[in-house]
Structure 1
Protein backbone atom coordinates (compact mmCIF):
# COMPACT_ATOMS: atom_id res chain seq x y z
CA UNK A 1 0.00 0.00 0.00
CA UNK A 2 1.27 3.48 -0.90
CA UNK A 3 0.35 6.41 1.30
CA UNK A 4 1.24 10.09 1.25
CA UNK A 5 2.67 11.40 4.51
CA UNK A 6 3.16 15.06 5.35
CA UNK A 7 6.29 15.77 7.42
CA UNK A 8 7.21 18.90 9.34
CA UNK A 9 10.01 20.77 11.10
CA UNK A 10 13.01 18.69 12.21
CA UNK A 11 11.44 15.48 10.95
CA UNK A 12 11.19 16.85 7.40
CA UNK A 13 14.81 18.01 7.66
CA UNK A 14 15.98 14.60 8.92
CA UNK A 15 14.18 12.59 6.22
CA UNK A 16 14.82 15.17 3.50
CA UNK A 17 11.29 15.91 2.33
CA UNK A 18 8.06 17.50 3.55
CA UNK A 19 5.86 15.15 1.49
CA UNK A 20 6.72 11.47 1.54
CA UNK A 21 5.24 8.86 -0.79
CA UNK A 22 5.70 5.71 1.28
CA UNK A 23 5.18 2.08 0.32
CA UNK A 24 4.20 0.26 3.50
CA UNK A 25 6.62 -2.71 3.56
CA UNK A 26 4.54 -5.18 5.62
CA UNK A 27 1.42 -6.17 3.64
CA UNK A 28 0.87 -9.10 6.00
CA UNK A 29 0.28 -6.67 8.91
CA UNK A 30 -2.61 -4.22 9.24
CA UNK A 31 -1.56 -0.61 8.66
CA UNK A 32 -2.22 1.39 11.82
CA UNK A 33 -0.73 4.53 13.30
CA UNK A 34 1.57 2.42 15.48
CA UNK A 35 2.70 0.04 12.73
CA UNK A 36 3.33 2.99 10.40
CA UNK A 37 5.70 4.56 12.93
CA UNK A 38 7.49 1.24 13.42
CA UNK A 39 7.92 0.79 9.67
CA UNK A 40 9.13 4.36 9.17
CA UNK A 41 11.67 3.94 11.96
CA UNK A 42 12.98 0.81 10.20
CA UNK A 43 13.16 2.63 6.87
CA UNK A 44 14.78 5.79 8.28
CA UNK A 45 16.94 4.66 11.23
CA UNK A 46 18.67 8.04 11.50
CA UNK A 47 15.28 9.57 12.31
CA UNK A 48 14.03 6.69 14.48
CA UNK A 49 14.18 8.57 17.79
CA UNK A 50 12.26 11.54 16.43
CA UNK A 51 9.72 9.28 14.73
CA UNK A 52 9.20 7.47 18.05
CA UNK A 53 8.52 10.80 19.81
CA UNK A 54 6.06 11.92 17.13
CA UNK A 55 2.32 11.42 16.79
CA UNK A 56 0.47 10.31 13.70
CA UNK A 57 -2.40 12.52 12.55
CA UNK A 58 -5.08 10.89 10.42
CA UNK A 59 -7.48 13.25 8.66
CA UNK A 60 -6.28 16.13 10.86
CA UNK A 61 -6.85 14.35 14.17
CA UNK A 62 -4.24 12.91 16.54
CA UNK A 63 -4.55 9.14 16.17
CA UNK A 64 -4.33 6.38 18.76
CA UNK A 65 -1.86 3.62 17.97
CA UNK A 66 -4.56 1.21 16.81
CA UNK A 67 -6.17 3.69 14.41
CA UNK A 68 -6.37 2.06 10.95
CA UNK A 69 -4.93 3.89 7.94
CA UNK A 70 -6.02 3.57 4.32
CA UNK A 71 -4.53 4.94 1.13
CA UNK A 72 -7.32 7.53 0.98
CA UNK A 73 -6.56 9.03 4.41
CA UNK A 74 -4.75 12.33 4.94
CA UNK A 75 -1.74 11.30 7.02
CA UNK A 76 0.84 13.46 8.77
CA UNK A 77 3.62 12.73 11.22
CA UNK A 78 3.64 15.37 13.94
CA UNK A 79 6.93 15.86 15.83
CA UNK A 80 6.76 17.45 19.29
CA UNK A 81 5.19 20.87 18.87
CA UNK A 82 6.33 24.21 20.21
CA UNK A 83 4.20 25.55 21.23
CA UNK A 84 -9.43 16.09 19.86
CA UNK A 85 -12.59 17.22 18.77
CA UNK A 86 -14.21 16.32 15.43
CA UNK A 87 -12.89 19.36 13.60
CA UNK A 88 -14.88 18.67 10.45
CA UNK A 89 -18.09 19.19 12.44
CA UNK A 90 -17.12 22.61 13.78
CA UNK A 91 -18.90 25.62 12.27
CA UNK A 92 -16.86 27.16 9.49
CA UNK A 93 -18.69 30.48 9.26
CA UNK A 94 -16.76 33.63 8.53
CA UNK A 95 -17.04 35.04 12.06
CA UNK A 96 -15.56 31.92 13.67
CA UNK A 97 -12.79 31.64 11.08
CA UNK A 98 -11.85 35.26 11.72
CA UNK A 99 -11.23 34.52 15.41
CA UNK A 100 -8.52 31.94 14.67
CA UNK A 101 -5.87 32.86 12.12
CA UNK A 102 -2.48 31.60 10.94
CA UNK A 103 -0.71 34.10 8.73
CA UNK A 104 2.64 35.25 7.36
CA UNK A 105 1.57 38.88 7.87
CA UNK A 106 2.46 40.99 10.95
CA UNK A 107 -0.04 40.77 13.80
CA UNK A 108 -1.95 43.73 15.24
CA UNK A 109 -2.67 43.49 18.97
CA UNK A 110 -5.39 46.13 18.66
CA UNK A 111 -7.22 44.39 15.81
CA UNK A 112 -7.15 40.98 17.48
CA UNK A 113 -8.24 42.35 20.86
CA UNK A 114 -11.13 44.21 19.22
CA UNK A 115 -12.54 40.85 18.04
CA UNK A 116 -13.36 39.78 21.61
CA UNK A 117 -14.65 43.03 23.13
CA UNK A 118 -18.33 42.61 24.05
CA UNK A 119 -20.82 44.97 25.76
CA UNK A 120 -21.58 42.49 28.55
CA UNK A 121 -17.94 41.70 29.32
CA UNK A 122 -16.11 43.64 32.02
CA UNK A 123 -12.62 42.23 31.41
CA UNK A 124 -10.38 41.78 28.39
CA UNK A 125 -6.83 40.44 28.41
CA UNK A 126 -4.29 40.08 25.61
CA UNK A 127 -1.25 37.82 25.71
CA UNK A 128 1.46 38.77 23.22
CA UNK A 129 4.37 36.45 22.44
CA UNK A 130 7.46 38.04 20.89
CA UNK A 131 10.82 36.81 19.62
CA UNK A 132 13.44 36.84 22.39
CA UNK A 133 17.00 37.74 21.39
CA UNK A 134 18.94 35.80 24.05
CA UNK A 135 18.17 32.27 25.29
CA UNK A 136 20.56 30.49 27.66
CA UNK A 137 23.49 32.56 26.41
CA UNK A 138 22.79 32.08 22.69
CA UNK A 139 21.82 35.04 20.52
CA UNK A 140 18.85 34.43 18.24
CA UNK A 141 18.93 36.29 14.91
CA UNK A 142 15.33 35.47 14.00
CA UNK A 143 12.76 32.68 14.18
CA UNK A 144 11.14 30.66 11.41
CA UNK A 145 7.71 29.18 12.14
CA UNK A 146 6.08 26.30 10.28
CA UNK A 147 2.57 24.90 10.69
CA UNK A 148 0.38 22.06 9.49
CA UNK A 149 -2.10 24.82 8.67
CA UNK A 150 -5.48 23.05 8.30
CA UNK A 151 -4.96 20.97 11.43
CA UNK A 152 -3.50 23.92 13.35
CA UNK A 153 -6.59 26.01 12.59
CA UNK A 154 -8.84 23.14 13.70
CA UNK A 155 -6.94 22.87 16.98
CA UNK A 156 -7.13 26.63 17.58
CA UNK A 157 -10.90 26.39 17.14
CA UNK A 158 -10.88 23.44 19.53
CA UNK A 159 -9.15 25.59 22.16
CA UNK A 160 -11.79 28.26 21.68
CA UNK A 161 -14.50 25.64 22.19
CA UNK A 162 -12.83 24.26 25.31
CA UNK A 163 -12.59 27.75 26.78
CA UNK A 164 -16.26 28.45 26.06
CA UNK A 165 -17.21 25.18 27.74
CA UNK A 166 -14.98 25.73 30.78
CA UNK A 167 -15.73 29.45 31.20
CA UNK A 168 -19.21 29.99 29.67
CA UNK A 169 -19.59 33.34 27.97
CA UNK A 170 -15.86 33.82 27.50
CA UNK A 171 -14.72 34.88 24.02
CA UNK A 172 -11.29 34.00 22.61
CA UNK A 173 -9.34 34.98 19.48
CA UNK A 174 -5.91 33.58 18.56
CA UNK A 175 -3.60 34.61 15.72
CA UNK A 176 -0.22 33.00 15.06
CA UNK A 177 2.54 33.94 12.65
CA UNK A 178 4.34 31.52 10.37
CA UNK A 179 7.43 32.16 8.31
CA UNK A 180 10.20 34.64 9.20
CA UNK A 181 9.73 36.53 12.51
CA UNK A 182 12.41 39.01 13.59
CA UNK A 183 13.62 39.88 17.09
CA UNK A 184 10.94 41.68 19.16
CA UNK A 185 8.29 40.99 16.52
CA UNK A 186 5.02 39.40 17.57
CA UNK A 187 4.61 35.69 16.88
CA UNK A 188 1.31 35.01 18.68
CA UNK A 189 -1.56 37.05 20.08
CA UNK A 190 -4.24 35.54 22.33
CA UNK A 191 -7.13 37.85 23.21
CA UNK A 192 -9.74 36.84 25.77
CA UNK A 193 -12.74 38.68 27.16
CA UNK A 194 -15.09 37.58 29.92
CA UNK A 195 -17.72 38.99 32.25
CA UNK A 196 -15.22 39.01 35.14
CA UNK A 197 -11.44 39.29 35.41
CA UNK A 198 -10.77 36.00 37.25
CA UNK A 199 -12.11 33.89 34.40
CA UNK A 200 -10.33 36.10 31.90
CA UNK A 201 -6.92 35.48 33.50
CA UNK A 202 -7.51 31.75 33.78
CA UNK A 203 -8.75 31.38 30.21
CA UNK A 204 -5.79 33.31 28.80
CA UNK A 205 -3.30 31.09 30.60
CA UNK A 206 -5.19 27.99 29.54
CA UNK A 207 -5.14 29.11 25.89
CA UNK A 208 -1.36 29.53 25.61
CA UNK A 209 -0.58 26.32 27.49
CA UNK A 210 -3.09 24.35 25.41
CA UNK A 211 -1.70 25.88 22.22
CA UNK A 212 1.75 24.60 23.11
CA UNK A 213 0.28 21.18 23.88
CA UNK A 214 -1.86 20.41 20.83
CA UNK A 215 -1.42 22.88 17.96
CA UNK A 216 1.00 21.65 15.25
CA UNK A 217 3.18 24.76 14.94
CA UNK A 218 6.97 24.57 15.13
CA UNK A 219 9.71 27.18 15.41
CA UNK A 220 13.30 27.10 14.25
CA UNK A 221 15.73 29.32 16.12
CA UNK A 222 18.23 30.87 13.73
CA UNK A 223 21.53 31.80 15.38
CA UNK A 224 24.61 33.51 14.00
CA UNK A 225 26.37 30.14 13.83
CA UNK A 226 23.57 27.64 13.23
CA UNK A 227 19.93 26.76 13.83
CA UNK A 228 17.73 24.31 15.72
CA UNK A 229 14.07 23.26 15.67
CA UNK A 230 12.54 23.77 19.10
CA UNK A 231 9.93 21.34 20.36
CA UNK A 232 7.60 21.12 23.29
CA UNK A 233 9.17 21.89 26.66
CA UNK A 234 6.47 21.08 29.18
CA UNK A 235 7.34 17.49 29.98
CA UNK A 236 5.94 14.29 28.45
CA UNK A 237 4.20 15.27 25.24
CA UNK A 238 0.80 13.71 24.58
CA UNK A 239 -1.58 16.01 22.69
CA UNK A 240 -4.42 13.54 23.19
CA UNK A 241 -4.48 14.29 26.94
CA UNK A 242 -7.33 16.63 27.93
CA UNK A 243 -6.32 20.06 29.15
CA UNK A 244 -7.80 19.92 32.64
CA UNK A 245 -4.36 19.60 34.25
CA UNK A 246 -3.02 22.82 32.72
CA UNK A 247 -4.29 25.09 35.50
CA UNK A 248 -3.26 22.74 38.32
CA UNK A 249 -0.91 24.06 40.98
CA UNK A 250 0.87 20.69 41.18
Structure 2
Protein backbone atom coordinates (compact mmCIF):
# COMPACT_ATOMS: atom_id res chain seq x y z
CA UNK A 1 0.00 0.00 0.00
CA UNK A 2 0.98 3.64 -0.38
CA UNK A 3 0.10 6.18 2.31
CA UNK A 4 -0.01 9.97 2.31
CA UNK A 5 1.26 11.08 5.73
CA UNK A 6 1.03 14.61 7.10
CA UNK A 7 3.97 15.77 9.23
CA UNK A 8 4.20 18.78 11.52
CA UNK A 9 6.55 21.08 13.44
CA UNK A 10 10.04 19.70 14.10
CA UNK A 11 9.20 16.32 12.61
CA UNK A 12 8.46 17.90 9.24
CA UNK A 13 11.75 19.79 9.50
CA UNK A 14 13.82 16.69 10.24
CA UNK A 15 12.31 14.60 7.45
CA UNK A 16 12.26 17.54 5.05
CA UNK A 17 8.60 17.62 4.05
CA UNK A 18 5.18 18.29 5.54
CA UNK A 19 3.47 15.72 3.28
CA UNK A 20 5.14 12.35 2.84
CA UNK A 21 4.21 9.59 0.39
CA UNK A 22 5.27 6.34 2.01
CA UNK A 23 5.14 2.92 0.33
CA UNK A 24 4.66 -0.17 2.46
CA UNK A 25 4.75 -3.74 1.17
CA UNK A 26 2.93 -5.15 4.21
CA UNK A 27 -0.71 -6.03 3.57
CA UNK A 28 -1.76 -5.50 7.20
CA UNK A 29 -0.38 -2.37 8.83
CA UNK A 30 -0.88 -0.97 12.33
CA UNK A 31 -0.04 2.45 13.74
CA UNK A 32 2.78 0.99 15.82
CA UNK A 33 4.28 -0.84 12.86
CA UNK A 34 4.09 2.31 10.74
CA UNK A 35 6.20 4.16 13.31
CA UNK A 36 8.77 1.36 13.20
CA UNK A 37 8.96 1.49 9.42
CA UNK A 38 9.25 5.29 9.38
CA UNK A 39 12.01 5.18 11.99
CA UNK A 40 13.93 2.69 9.84
CA UNK A 41 13.44 4.80 6.71
CA UNK A 42 14.39 8.07 8.44
CA UNK A 43 16.96 7.22 11.14
CA UNK A 44 17.83 10.89 11.75
CA UNK A 45 14.25 11.41 12.94
CA UNK A 46 13.88 8.04 14.72
CA UNK A 47 13.99 9.42 18.27
CA UNK A 48 11.26 11.96 17.51
CA UNK A 49 9.14 9.43 15.62
CA UNK A 50 9.34 7.15 18.67
CA UNK A 51 7.67 9.72 20.96
CA UNK A 52 5.12 10.87 18.37
CA UNK A 53 1.54 9.68 18.04
CA UNK A 54 -0.11 8.42 14.88
CA UNK A 55 -3.46 9.99 14.01
CA UNK A 56 -5.79 8.06 11.72
CA UNK A 57 -8.78 9.91 10.29
CA UNK A 58 -8.21 12.74 12.79
CA UNK A 59 -8.19 10.53 15.88
CA UNK A 60 -5.21 9.44 17.97
CA UNK A 61 -4.56 5.78 17.19
CA UNK A 62 -3.38 3.06 19.57
CA UNK A 63 -0.36 1.04 18.51
CA UNK A 64 -2.49 -1.89 17.37
CA UNK A 65 -4.96 0.25 15.39
CA UNK A 66 -5.15 -0.85 11.74
CA UNK A 67 -4.33 1.52 8.89
CA UNK A 68 -5.87 1.20 5.42
CA UNK A 69 -4.50 2.70 2.23
CA UNK A 70 -7.09 5.46 1.92
CA UNK A 71 -7.04 6.53 5.58
CA UNK A 72 -6.05 10.09 6.48
CA UNK A 73 -2.79 9.59 8.37
CA UNK A 74 -0.69 12.10 10.32
CA UNK A 75 2.27 11.82 12.67
CA UNK A 76 1.85 14.10 15.68
CA UNK A 77 5.11 15.09 17.45
CA UNK A 78 5.20 16.52 20.98
CA UNK A 79 8.08 18.96 20.45
CA UNK A 80 11.31 19.43 18.50
CA UNK A 81 13.57 22.05 17.01
CA UNK A 82 13.11 23.17 13.43
CA UNK A 83 12.55 25.73 10.74
CA UNK A 84 9.55 27.91 9.91
CA UNK A 85 6.08 26.32 9.91
CA UNK A 86 4.68 25.13 6.62
CA UNK A 87 1.26 25.78 5.07
CA UNK A 88 -1.31 27.44 7.29
CA UNK A 89 -5.07 27.69 6.92
CA UNK A 90 -7.84 28.43 9.39
CA UNK A 91 -11.21 26.90 10.09
CA UNK A 92 -14.30 27.36 12.29
CA UNK A 93 -16.89 24.93 13.62
CA UNK A 94 -20.38 25.09 12.10
CA UNK A 95 -21.85 26.65 15.24
CA UNK A 96 -19.05 29.24 15.40
CA UNK A 97 -18.01 28.28 18.94
CA UNK A 98 -14.57 26.92 18.03
CA UNK A 99 -12.00 28.34 15.63
CA UNK A 100 -8.44 28.04 14.38
CA UNK A 101 -7.46 31.27 12.68
CA UNK A 102 -4.59 33.39 11.42
CA UNK A 103 -6.52 36.54 12.29
CA UNK A 104 -6.26 38.52 15.53
CA UNK A 105 -8.64 37.31 18.22
CA UNK A 106 -11.53 39.51 19.36
CA UNK A 107 -11.91 38.91 23.08
CA UNK A 108 -15.30 40.65 23.22
CA UNK A 109 -16.71 38.71 20.25
CA UNK A 110 -15.58 35.34 21.63
CA UNK A 111 -16.87 36.14 25.13
CA UNK A 112 -20.29 37.13 23.80
CA UNK A 113 -20.67 33.69 22.20
CA UNK A 114 -21.24 32.16 25.66
CA UNK A 115 -23.20 34.89 27.42
CA UNK A 116 -26.83 33.93 28.03
CA UNK A 117 -29.61 35.26 30.22
CA UNK A 118 -29.73 32.08 32.30
CA UNK A 119 -26.05 32.14 33.31
CA UNK A 120 -24.78 34.26 36.17
CA UNK A 121 -21.06 33.69 35.59
CA UNK A 122 -18.86 34.27 32.54
CA UNK A 123 -15.08 33.81 32.58
CA UNK A 124 -12.66 34.55 29.74
CA UNK A 125 -9.12 33.16 29.73
CA UNK A 126 -6.63 34.93 27.44
CA UNK A 127 -3.26 33.38 26.66
CA UNK A 128 -0.76 36.01 25.43
CA UNK A 129 2.82 36.02 24.17
CA UNK A 130 5.24 36.63 27.04
CA UNK A 131 8.40 38.59 26.29
CA UNK A 132 10.76 37.29 29.00
CA UNK A 133 11.06 33.61 29.95
CA UNK A 134 13.79 32.56 32.37
CA UNK A 135 15.87 35.59 31.43
CA UNK A 136 15.57 35.06 27.66
CA UNK A 137 13.77 37.56 25.43
CA UNK A 138 11.18 36.21 23.03
CA UNK A 139 10.72 38.19 19.79
CA UNK A 140 7.50 36.48 18.74
CA UNK A 141 5.82 33.09 18.63
CA UNK A 142 4.91 30.95 15.63
CA UNK A 143 1.98 28.54 15.87
CA UNK A 144 1.28 25.63 13.54
CA UNK A 145 -1.72 23.28 13.64
CA UNK A 146 -3.11 20.14 12.08
CA UNK A 147 -6.19 22.29 11.47
CA UNK A 148 -9.04 19.80 10.88
CA UNK A 149 -8.01 17.59 13.77
CA UNK A 150 -7.31 20.58 16.03
CA UNK A 151 -10.81 21.90 15.37
CA UNK A 152 -12.31 18.47 16.08
CA UNK A 153 -10.44 18.29 19.38
CA UNK A 154 -11.65 21.76 20.40
CA UNK A 155 -15.21 20.56 19.77
CA UNK A 156 -14.41 17.47 21.87
CA UNK A 157 -13.29 19.68 24.76
CA UNK A 158 -16.55 21.59 24.52
CA UNK A 159 -18.50 18.33 24.64
CA UNK A 160 -16.51 17.07 27.63
CA UNK A 161 -17.18 20.31 29.50
CA UNK A 162 -20.88 19.96 28.74
CA UNK A 163 -20.86 16.48 30.26
CA UNK A 164 -18.83 17.40 33.36
CA UNK A 165 -20.63 20.68 34.05
CA UNK A 166 -24.12 20.37 32.51
CA UNK A 167 -25.46 23.58 31.04
CA UNK A 168 -22.03 25.20 30.79
CA UNK A 169 -21.22 26.94 27.49
CA UNK A 170 -17.70 27.07 26.04
CA UNK A 171 -16.08 28.86 23.08
CA UNK A 172 -12.42 28.53 22.12
CA UNK A 173 -10.42 30.31 19.43
CA UNK A 174 -6.70 29.72 18.79
CA UNK A 175 -4.30 31.65 16.58
CA UNK A 176 -1.88 30.09 14.11
CA UNK A 177 0.96 31.84 12.35
CA UNK A 178 2.94 34.67 13.92
CA UNK A 179 1.78 36.06 17.27
CA UNK A 180 3.69 39.08 18.56
CA UNK A 181 4.47 40.11 22.14
CA UNK A 182 1.36 40.79 24.26
CA UNK A 183 -0.97 39.54 21.51
CA UNK A 184 -3.52 36.83 22.30
CA UNK A 185 -2.80 33.34 21.01
CA UNK A 186 -5.81 31.65 22.61
CA UNK A 187 -9.11 32.86 24.05
CA UNK A 188 -11.35 30.52 26.06
CA UNK A 189 -14.76 31.82 27.13
CA UNK A 190 -16.93 29.85 29.54
CA UNK A 191 -20.30 30.65 31.10
CA UNK A 192 -22.39 28.75 33.63
CA UNK A 193 -25.23 29.37 36.07
CA UNK A 194 -22.76 29.62 39.00
CA UNK A 195 -19.14 30.77 39.32
CA UNK A 196 -17.62 27.56 40.78
CA UNK A 197 -18.39 25.52 37.66
CA UNK A 198 -17.21 28.42 35.49
CA UNK A 199 -13.75 28.51 37.13
CA UNK A 200 -13.40 24.73 37.02
CA UNK A 201 -14.47 24.43 33.38
CA UNK A 202 -12.12 27.22 32.26
CA UNK A 203 -9.13 25.51 33.91
CA UNK A 204 -10.17 22.19 32.41
CA UNK A 205 -10.40 23.71 28.92
CA UNK A 206 -6.87 25.14 28.80
CA UNK A 207 -5.22 22.08 30.36
CA UNK A 208 -7.12 19.73 28.06
CA UNK A 209 -6.21 21.90 25.05
CA UNK A 210 -2.52 21.51 25.89
CA UNK A 211 -3.02 17.74 26.22
CA UNK A 212 -4.93 16.75 23.10
CA UNK A 213 -5.09 19.56 20.51
CA UNK A 214 -2.42 19.23 17.77
CA UNK A 215 -1.07 22.78 17.86
CA UNK A 216 2.66 23.53 18.06
CA UNK A 217 4.41 26.67 19.30
CA UNK A 218 7.84 27.86 18.21
CA UNK A 219 9.59 30.53 20.26
CA UNK A 220 11.68 32.94 18.18
CA UNK A 221 14.53 34.67 20.01
CA UNK A 222 17.17 37.15 18.94
CA UNK A 223 19.68 34.30 18.53
CA UNK A 224 17.55 31.39 17.29
CA UNK A 225 14.29 29.52 17.68
CA UNK A 226 12.90 26.29 19.15
CA UNK A 227 9.66 24.32 19.13
CA UNK A 228 8.14 24.18 22.59
CA UNK A 229 5.99 21.43 24.06
CA UNK A 230 2.92 21.42 26.24
CA UNK A 231 4.76 21.54 29.57
CA UNK A 232 2.67 18.83 31.22
CA UNK A 233 5.30 16.13 31.68
CA UNK A 234 5.09 12.85 29.70
CA UNK A 235 2.89 13.51 26.70
CA UNK A 236 -0.09 11.20 26.27
CA UNK A 237 -2.95 12.73 24.28
CA UNK A 238 -4.91 9.48 24.51
CA UNK A 239 -5.30 9.86 28.30
CA UNK A 240 -8.71 10.99 29.61
CA UNK A 241 -9.10 14.49 30.97
CA UNK A 242 -8.79 14.62 34.74
CA UNK A 243 -8.32 18.34 35.32
CA UNK A 244 -10.84 20.26 37.39
Q: TM-score with structure 1 length normalisation?
A: 0.90
Q: What residue is the counterpart of 1:2 in the other structure?
A: 2
1:11-22 superposed matches below 5 A: 11-22=11-22
Deviations 1:185-211 (A, max 9, x none): 000000000000000000000000000
Alpha-carbon RMSD: 1.5
Aligned to 1:87: none
**Contact 2:93–2:99 (CA under 8 A) maintained in structure 1:** no
1:19-77 Cα distance to aligned partner (Å, 9 max, x none): 000112x52x7311000001111111111111011000000000010111111000000
- Show the counterpart of 2:23: 23
Aligned residue for 1:239, secondary structure, equals coil
Which is helix-richer, 1 or 2?
Answer: 1
Structure 1 equivalent of residue 164 of structure 2? 166
Match of 1:187 among 163, 172, 185: 185
What is the correspondence of 1:32-181 to structure 2 with a 5 Å cutoff? 32-80=30-78, 94-95=94-95, 98-181=96-179
* Alpha-carbon shift at residue 94 of structure 1 (Å): 3.2
Query: Deviations for 1:206-237, whole angstroms, at most 9, x for unmatched residues?
Result: 00000000000001111111110111210111
Q: Runs of 5+ in structure 1 lacking a partner? A: 83-91
Q: Which runs of 4+ in 1 moved over 4 A?
A: none
Q: Do the aligned partners of 2:4 and 2:19 also contact (CA within 8 Å) in 1?
A: yes
Question: How many Å separate the matches in 2 of 1:133 and 1:115?
Answer: 30
Q: CA deviation at 1:110?
A: 0.5
Contact 2:126–2:184 at 8 Å: present in 1 too? Answer: yes
Separation of aligned partners in 2, 1:78 and 1:237: 11
CA distance in 2, matches of 1:128, 1:5: 33
Cα deviation, residue 107, structure 1 = 0.3
Aligned CA distance change for structure 1 residues 43 and 60 (closer, same or farther; 3 Å): same
Equivalences for 1:189-204 in 2 at 5 Å?
A: 189-204=187-202
Deviates more, 1:231-240 or 1:208-217: 231-240
